[in-house]
Amino acid sequence: MIIKRPLGEKGQVVVPKHIRTILNLRKGENIIFEVEDSKVTIKPEKKEDIKIFLDEFFNSVPKENITLEDIRKAEEESYDLS
């Protein structure tokens, strides 16, 4: 299935109702974007995804003397694609 949608001025795209229904997406839920080369996959966030993320995150940060600033910095670095 191929569906075209215009990109809004803020970079927003509306997920078509048909796709929201198939993926069981509801208002306010998070979706996951996976980028590989020039392809983007969109999928609903699952509780397992959150658990895996948190497990990986807390296992990658030193366990002693963690501050909120340390957590914020680690989160920012996880989105740095440069």
The number of domains in the chain is 2
55 and 27 share a domain? no
In angstroms, how far is the first alpha carbon of the chain from the final one? 33
Tell me if 50 sits within 8 A of 57, measured CB to CB.
no
- The identity of residue 81, as a single letter, is L
Residues 1-59 pLDDT 10s: 888 899 999 999 999 998 888 888 888 888 889 999 999 888 888 766 677 777 777 77
13 and 37 share a domain? yes
* Model confidence, pTM: 0.48
68 and 29 share a domain? no
Residue 72 structural domain: 46-82
